[in-house]
């Protein structure tokens, strides 16, 4: 089976890291389902792929909704082909110190990251088993190591690693690999929102972050897309259950 016959789903692909991964996959020859909460928000990414000669489908889906996930995956299978590559990238932040964090803030982050990744993986694994080929990549974060003001996000991102390792164990016999990518500081709308929350101009925020990174620059969404491209390739069939920190330097 070649890339030309494979279909990928990338969640949270309306912008940022997800959009970069979707674009990279299309350039790799994959058909790509661009999935995010609102279908209209996905269309710009799908249109960029189409403009480059690729094949893409914009799909609106709340990944935390079981019925919505079932319907979305069925639609992708019907319109693009059975999804055998899945990137669980959808995520939100609701940052606050633990004594200020509400139950709703905790639940919202857990639902999108962990419940969403579970539901999407469960829905897609049947197609992967049938094809005797599959690639699952969960987006974690260096925040999984702990980060002030992000008890919910850090716990969810650590959970994404545990989920990937377990999927690797359970699905490996079917030709399916599962891994996690843990980005460091990546220049996206989400990090811009963090800068705004702490009251620092974004350019100063980026400059300060770069000084703390061994390669002396912040990451770009394309850095994560390149890693996802490899992990989802035929060549990565012996790489499974791993967490790859893409952070410009070593992490514990």
Kindly list the catalytic residues: 153
Q: How far is CA 76 from CA 58, 190, 199, 208, in A?
A: 9, 27, 41, 42
**DSSP label at 182?**
E
Identify the three-state secondary structure at position 179: strand
DSSP-assigned letters across all residues of 149-175: TBHHHHHHHHHHHHHHHHHHHHHGGGT
End-to-end CA distance of the chain: 37
Contacts of 54 (CB under 8 A, 6+ apart): 26, 27, 31, 32
Q: What are φ and ψ of residue 104, in 5° steps?
A: -65, -40
Q: What six digits make up the tokens of 40? A: 């209209």
Q: Strand 56-60 and strand 176-183: pairing?
A: unpaired
CA distance 225 to 5: 20
């Amino acid at each position: 089976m070649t890339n030309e016959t494979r279909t990928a789903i990338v969640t949270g692909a309306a912008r940022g890291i997800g959009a970069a991964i979707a674009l990279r996959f299309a350039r790799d020859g994959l058909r790509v389902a661009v999935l995010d909460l609102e279908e209209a928000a996905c269309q710009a990414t799908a249109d960029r792929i189409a403009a480059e000669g690729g094949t893409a489908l914009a799909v609106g889906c709340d990944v935390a909704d079981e019925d919505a996930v079932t319907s979305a995956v069925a639609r992708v299978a019907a319109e693009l082909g059975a999804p055998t590559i899945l990137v669980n990238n959808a995520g939100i932040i609701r940052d606050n110190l633990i004594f200020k964090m509400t139950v709703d803030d905790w639940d919202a982050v857990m639902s999108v990251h962990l419940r969403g990744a579970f539901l999407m993986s469960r829905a897609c694994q049947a197609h992967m088993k049938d094809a005797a080929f599959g690639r699952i990549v969960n987006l974690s974060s260096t925040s999984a190591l702990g980060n002030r003001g992000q008890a919910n996000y850090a716990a969810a991102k650590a959970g994404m690693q545990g989920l990937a390792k377990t999927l690797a164990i359970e699905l490996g016999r079917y030709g399916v690999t599962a891994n996690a990518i843990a980005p460091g500081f990546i220049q996206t709308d989400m990090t811009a929102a963090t800068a705004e929350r702490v009251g620092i101009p974004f350019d100063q925020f980026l400059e300060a972050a770069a000084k703390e990174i061994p390669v002396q620059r912040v990451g770009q969404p394309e850095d994560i897309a390149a890693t996802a491209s490899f992990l989802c390739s035929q060549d990565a069939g012996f790489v499974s259950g791993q967490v790859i920190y893409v952070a410009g330097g070593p992490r514990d």
